[in-house]
A and B are shown apart, each in its own frame.
Chain A
Amino acid sequence: MTAQPAGLSARAAAPHQAQDAATRRLARIMIALTILYGLWAAVLSFRIVVEQQTVRQHLDVALRARPRGPFASLRQARAKARGFVARLDHVFPRNSCARGPAFVLARPTAIPHRDCLVVIVPGLDRLHVRAYDTQGHRMDNVFERLNPPPRRL
């Protein structure tokens, strides 16, 4: 007589225990995925900060050291820009996040991959400097000048 209620009770408790075990399993999966995702985000962030710091410093150097205009002709401006780019590429030979140089002389539209690139564009009044971040998006020179990077180069 007593075995039957105990059996019923055990059967009634079984679904709850199964549910509890499933919830624990779900919690463990969620925690594991969150940790893995968080670690991936931290590694991504670390790499981006290091690369972005370098391109910010390249932009800072280019903005501070660019030859002053106005120039007599566009030809003269281009010659000045070419020499400037050659000097910069000699001092900073590596692009921080892509193959190729860190500085180029070109119209930005002519460059397919702009990641971490500083582009020098000759103009009659001055040499224009355009920098692109680790994802190839144009950086804001005004904002960068307001918040200059730590000078470590």
Chain B
Amino acid sequence: MLPYPHINPVGFHIGPIPIHWYGLLEIISFVIGTLWLIRRGRRREWQWTREQVLDLEYYLSLGAIVGGRLGYVLWYDLPYYLGHPVQILEVWDGGMSFHGGLIGVIVGCWAYGRKCQRSTMTVLDFVAPAAPIGLGLGRLANFINDQLFGRVSHLPWAVVFPAGGPQPRQPSQIYEFLLEGVVLLMILALYSRKPRPVGAVGSLFVLFYGIFRFLVEYTRQPDIQLGFVLGRLDMGQILSIPMIPIGIALLYWSYRGGFEAPAHEPPGNTA
């Protein structure tokens, strides 16, 4: 059993304003992701300008926040929010869903694609390799914040989380950091080094995230207001299951050339 490291959730202060690790890690991941996308956009097969990347980030951030919040409301605590609809807007109090955020990001890719005449799958392919940076650092922030911990366990590396009571628990945030962050980043970064069919990189993200999340959820404590929802499955698994066949179907379709760009698209959209 390992002791919880008790990292102060407040990293430092700027004057009277406390800067929380959670927010700081999100900003760091945003900056790293943006810089990487700017560099990636310079490659011959992409040809995205810096302004286009920053413009795209705006669409993606908006999609992630709106989708993530609506997803949480819809799939995790709808009875509560029907009674307290104003609190849907209080995103700073926590409660975001990855799956809602993903739908929001896809809508953001579609909206941005329409604006700059690129296909949705092309935009998704471009941003997908950077997504694990934010996902991974977000899980580290969950660990620092003593939240979203694992189930009770007596493994040698189980941790006693102060918010989880006296029993040792799986450090599921660290598993998620490693799988949804480090491993997924490596898979997508290596895979996207060569030109791939349109839609392949985005499909691979959907497929592997679905697999990793489904597996890690077996170690994670389900949300207290829900518990298990279908036999031994929790809501995270229920929402991750369709990602696996959808990812496979999209990958198959992309290798069949189904998402290849029409001839009038800007160069770089067929990689």
A→B interface (CB under 8 Å): 16, 19-20, 22-23, 26, 30, 33-34, 37-38, 41-42, 44-46, 48-50, 52-53, 56, 133-135, 137, 139-140, 142-144, 146-147
Closest A residue by C-beta to B257: A19
Closest A residue by C-beta to B78: A46
Q: How many residues of chain B are within 8 Å of chain A by beta carbon?
A: 37
Collect the chain B residues with CB atoms within 8 Å of residue A146's CB. 163-165
The 6 closest A-B pairs by CB, nearest first: A133-B227, A142-B165, A135-B228, A23-B258, A42-B74, A46-B78
Among B13-21, B24-32, B234-242, the stretch that binds chain A is B234-242
Which of B152, B165, B253, B260 has the largest number of chain A CB atoms within 10 A? Answer: B165
- For B224, give its contact among A23, A37, A48, A144 (CB under 8 Å): A144
- For A143, give its contact among B164, B232, B259, B260 (CB under 8 Å): B164
Instruction: Please give the distance in Å from B52's CB to the nearest CB on chain A.
Output: 24
Collect the chain B residues with CB atoms within 8 Å of residue A37's CB. 242
Collect the chain B residues with CB atoms within 8 Å of residue A52's CB. 225-227
Collect the chain B residues with CB atoms within 8 Å of residue A42's CB. 74-75, 78
CA distance A30 to B242 in the complex (A): 10
Which of A38, A56, A147 has the largest number of chain B CB atoms within 10 A? Answer: A38
CA distance A144 to B259 in the complex (A): 49
Q: Mark B138-182, 1 if CB is under 8 A from A, else 0.
A: 000000000000001000000000011111000000000000000
- For A23, give its contact among B165, B230, B259 (CB under 8 Å): B259
Instruction: Please give the distance in Å from B224's CB to the nearest CB on chain A.
Output: 5
- Interface majority SS on A: helix, strand, loop or mixed? helix
Closest B residue by C-beta to A29: B249
Indicate whether B79 reaches chain A with its CB closer than 8 angstroms: yes
A42-B74, A44-B229 given; 17 more Cβ-contact pairs under 8 Å: A16-B262, A19-B257, A26-B253, A42-B75, A45-B74, A45-B75, A45-B235, A49-B77, A52-B227, A133-B227, A135-B230, A137-B232, A140-B165, A142-B166, A142-B167, A146-B165, A147-B224
Knowing A23-B259, A30-B246, A146-B165, say if A45 contacts B226 (CB, 8 Å).
Answer: yes
Instruction: Please give the distance in Å from A26's CB to the nearest CB on chain B.
Output: 6
Contact assessment for A50 and B79 in the assembled complex, using a CB-CB cutoff below 8 Å: yes
Collect the chain B residues with CB atoms within 8 Å of residue A23's CB. 253, 258-259
Knowing A44-B229, A135-B229, say if A20 contacts B262 (CB, 8 Å).
Answer: yes
Instruction: Please give the distance in Å from A27's CB to the nearest CB on chain B.
Output: 8
Indicate whether B231 reaches chain A with its CB closer than 8 angstroms: yes
Contact assessment for A44 and B257 in the assembled complex, using a CB-CB cutoff below 8 Å: no
Collect the chain B residues with CB atoms within 8 Å of residue A49's CB. 77-80, 225-226
